[in-house]
Amino acid sequence: MRCGGNRLYLTRRDFLSLGSCAAAVAPLRSRRVAAAQFRPSSAEINAIDIHAHYFPMEYLKSIANKGGPEGFNVDLTTSPGPTLTGGGAVTVLDPTYWDLERRVHAMDAAGIKVHALSLTMPMPHLAPPDRGAELAAIYNDAVVAAHRRFPDRFVGCVSLPLKSAALAVKELDRVGKQNAMRAVYFPTNIGGKELSDPSLDPIYDKIQSLNLPIMLHPHPPVVGLSRLQKFYLPNLLGNPFDTTVAVAYLVFGGVMDRFPNLDVLLPHAGGAFPYLYGRVQRGQEVIPDLKNAAKAPVAAYLKRFYYDTISHSAEALKYLVDLAGVDRVMLGSDYCFNMGYERPREIVTKLSMSAGDRDRIFFGNARRLLKLA
């Protein structure tokens, strides 16, 4: 589990139970050399990356000093950065995770103008409500500060203490209208609670009233862990299937109907949902209990969701664009994990499409969803 140059300290058992974006470190050197050969013109530094992770030092220090989300710890004494333990991984967070100046250089090299910053594990919802609210505020304030320091390079996604609707709404009231904040980040499950849980409705209502999109991201505990103990499967399969399960709850659990103006972006090219939607819709048609679970056919929701480009397959990305529509797909990288893209534009350029459609995926769709000028 890296970003540039950090060391990874995982036992094999730790790694196999990993539920985050992490992956092996070995290929990094060759990937970085290849990235260094890519020289975008200044005009090509125009893409908006809507899936880019950021670990502010203030957030890490708070977890180290006061404790954090259940099961996670931070040690500030290690080098070249703090060590994060939890979710089955022990990760040294080198400056690539938290140094914004280094990040801007990396963005320039990859032809990326804007990062929509987001937290990955640990998110604040795994802490007790009051502590989760404190951690969410620390993260959100750091994102606001990043935007103020580099206003044309960084915007961000609001993190929330989702165990308490009242505290989550309070935090949305506090930061939801900040210029930096262009989306709200949600785990695909909330410590095992599903996204259709009625206790979340006041939060959805507030997000809808703020006209912010929700961006989903897998978070431990992902689905099926008991059968995913080998081959890095919590990451390779658990993460995208947790997204797929979350979609089923959003659709059949009525969230998308109760909040008809809510926009939701699905990470990792939608997980398995774009491929399985036909089967899910068949169930909707023939299983009596499902007939009235959602107001519209599943295919209608498929075209309502948004998706990033993190498929790692040009064929799969082409299928997604053809299926959901070129206006629903936007560039993502999973920065700075090595399960992401070092050169996120590349897979888009492999698709046969007009320059206008390519620009929609590079920046036009994200500009619309995030309401950027």
Positions touching Zn ion (CB under 5 A) are 21, 334
CA distance to 5, 241, 321, 348, 357, per residue, from 353 (Å): 36, 29, 10, 9, 6
Q: Is the CB of 259 or the CB of 335 nearer to Zn ion?
A: 335
State the nearest-atom distance from the C-beta of 340 to Zn ion, in Å.
7
For residues 268 and 235, the answer to whether their CB atoms sit within 8 Å is: no
Nearer Cβ to Zn ion (268/358): 268
| C-alpha of 331 from chain center | 12
Decide whether 21 or 23 has the Cβ nearer to Zn ion. Answer: 21
Taking a C-beta distance cutoff of 8 angstroms, is the pair 109, 163 a contact? no
- CB nearer to Zn ion: give 240 or 274: 240
Question: Which CB sits closer to Zn ion, 51 or 206?
Answer: 51
SS3 content of the chain, % helix, strand, coil (to 5): 45, 15, 40
Q: Kind of pairing, strands 83-86 and 73-75?
A: antiparallel
Least distance CB 53 / Zn ion (angstroms): 6
Rounded CA gap, 235 and 220, in Å? 10
As a whole number of angstroms, the distance between CA 313 and CA 251 comes to 26
The residue type found at 236 is: L
Q: Which is nearer to Zn ion, 218 or 253 (by Cβ)?
A: 218
Q: Which of 240, 215, 243, 236 is nearest to 119 (CA)?
A: 215
Cβ 190 to Zn ion, closest distance in Å?
A: 17
C-beta of 184: minimal distance to Zn ion in Å?
Answer: 16
Nearest CA to 121 out of 257, 234, 201 is that of: 234
Q: Which distant-in-sequence residues (6+ apart) come within 8 Å of 85 by Cβ?
A: 72, 73, 74, 75, 91
94 or 334: whose CB is closer to Zn ion? 334
Instruction: Compute the least distance from the CB of residue 279 to Zn ion, in Å.
Output: 26
Least distance CB 221 / Zn ion (angstroms):
17
- Quick count: other Cβ atoms within 10 Å of Cβ 3? 26
Closer residue to Zn ion, CB minimum distance, 171 or 334: 334
Shortest distance (Å) from residue 48 CB to Zn ion: 16
Closest separation in Å from C-beta 118 to Zn ion: 8
